[in-house]
Amino acid sequence: MKKSLPTQFLVATDDPRGGAATAAASAQFPLPGWPLFRLGFRPFYLGAAAFALFAVPYWIAGLQGLVALPSTMPPLLWHAHEMLYGFAVAVIVGFLLTAGKAWTGLATPRGVTLAVMAGLWLAARLAALGAPYAIYAVLDVALLPWVAFVLIRLLVKAGNRRNLPLGAILMLLATANVTFHAAVLGWLNIDALRAVHAGLALVVMIECVIAGRVIPAFTMSALPGRQLKVPAWLERGTLAATALALASWVLLPANPVTAAGFALAALLHAARLWHWQPWRTRARPILWVLHAAYAWLPVGFALLAAAQGGEVAASIGIHALAVGATGGLIIGMVTRTARGHTGRLLQASRLEVAAYGLVAVAAIARVLLPLVVPAHAADGLVVAAAAWAAAFALYLWTFAPWLLRSRLDGKDG
């Protein structure tokens, strides 16, 4: 039975020298095929970043009447759905198609198959802008079950049971997506936005699981001799409280029990982060960005707890999770993993640090500014959109050439 460490995908590349240190020793014959389709992170990270650069400024311009927003569905639903299934899910798919190879030692889709997967994702994004809704829905729901099937098959074949829950979460994400489209088409008598909230809840659970594995591992790798031990009861309690609070939020009307669940989840996530000693990472931007992004989880849960009683708008807490936590973790992971898997140093450049800061600015402007200065909430949206777009423009400027070329060390991937 093949076994692998839960963080094998990333920790194996955590030497700050990266693959470049072994380039001279790993000269190989030229690899076949276009580098873009050799491993899942390449097309999906590139596509997600380009979509992030386009979609948010387009949304804000539409709100201001400067451009026409898609007429395929209500504009708010387009924005909510596409930022989740167009942006965040693309990163998750790219990550898992790459991680699956390291977790199992088995090949993940590449070449023509990977190109078709990426093309399907892109076709859905374009169809959302004006194609007949049925065509858009069919294109949009096809990818996630395919990826889930691939991942689950690999994990089962390799005997890697530890990561099987991620395949199950992908199937639940696919189910939430089908539910969304059925609601928009009027086939189900439910609020389509609630289906999007279900999708966000599942993405947050993926973040809680993956972050709980990689952030302490990365931190210990960067700080030799430092042991970060989170009590087992805290790990289990954090994930259980989070899952129950999110499920209650999605399935039930606002109520005090859900508020209490979110408040408990906020406290547990704050305690979990404290055990990871984030203050020790201040000299390593590629590391502190993940700690800083994770800190938005307790903030978001606390705001959603307050929203249950009407103290704040629910959208504030939602964007704390979507922009602060999800956006922050994504910009941190797509830089780190892309560096490791293209054979480069695991050390953020100034442009990448600027991108980290810009995503943080976007979160502050979108979440905290409306709370502190409600009269300037509209200005906060513009600032958030500009900072968000600039962050992913910097990512594309730095990483697009790398994602389109072979690894520096000549290895496959």
| Across 382-398, average pLDDT | 98
Please write the tens of the pLDDT for every residue from 259-281: 999 999 999 999 999 999 999 99
CB contact set of 169 (below 8 Å; sequence gap of 6+): 202, 205, 206
At residue 19, the pLDDT reads 41
At residue 160, the pLDDT reads 94
| Across 151-158, average pLDDT | 96
Tally of domains within the chain: 1
CB contact set of 176 (below 8 Å; sequence gap of 6+): 195, 196, 198, 199, 202
Structural domain includes residue 19: no
At residue 386, the pLDDT reads 98
Please write the tens of the pLDDT for every residue from 279-327: 999 999 999 999 999 999 999 999 999 999 999 999 999 999 999 999 9
At residue 413, the pLDDT reads 83
At residue 221, the pLDDT reads 85
Percent of the chain with pLDDT over 70: 93
Please write the tens of the pLDDT for every residue from 47-76: 999 999 999 999 999 999 999 999 889 999
- Structural domain for 307, as ranges: 33-403
At residue 331, the pLDDT reads 98
257, two tokens: 């029990």
Structural domain includes residue 214: yes
| Across 216-227, average pLDDT | 84
Please write the tens of the pLDDT for every residue from 9-54: 443 334 333 444 434 434 445 677 799 999 999 999 999 999 999 9
Structural domain includes residue 20: no
At residue 2, the pLDDT reads 39
Please write the tens of the pLDDT for every residue from 176-214: 999 999 999 999 999 999 999 999 999 999 999 999 999
Q: What is the mean pLDDT of the chain?
A: 92
Structural domain includes residue 332: yes
Specify the 3-state DSSP secondary structure of 346. Answer: coil
Structural domain includes residue 319: yes
Q: What is the CATH number of the domain that holds 81?
A: 1.20.210.10
* pTM: predicted TM-score of the whole model, two decimal places: 0.92
Please write the tens of the pLDDT for every residue from 356-379: 999 999 999 999 999 999 999 999
Structural domain includes residue 215: yes
Structural domain includes residue 26: no
What is the C-alpha to C-alpha distance for residues 274 and 228, in angstroms, rounded to an integer? Answer: 10
Specify the 3-state DSSP secondary structure of 39. Answer: coil
Structural domain includes residue 4: no
- What is the DSSP code string of 92-155? HHHHHHHHHHHHHSSPPP-HHHHHHHHHHHHHHHHHTTTS-HHHHHHHHHHHHHHHHHHHHHHH
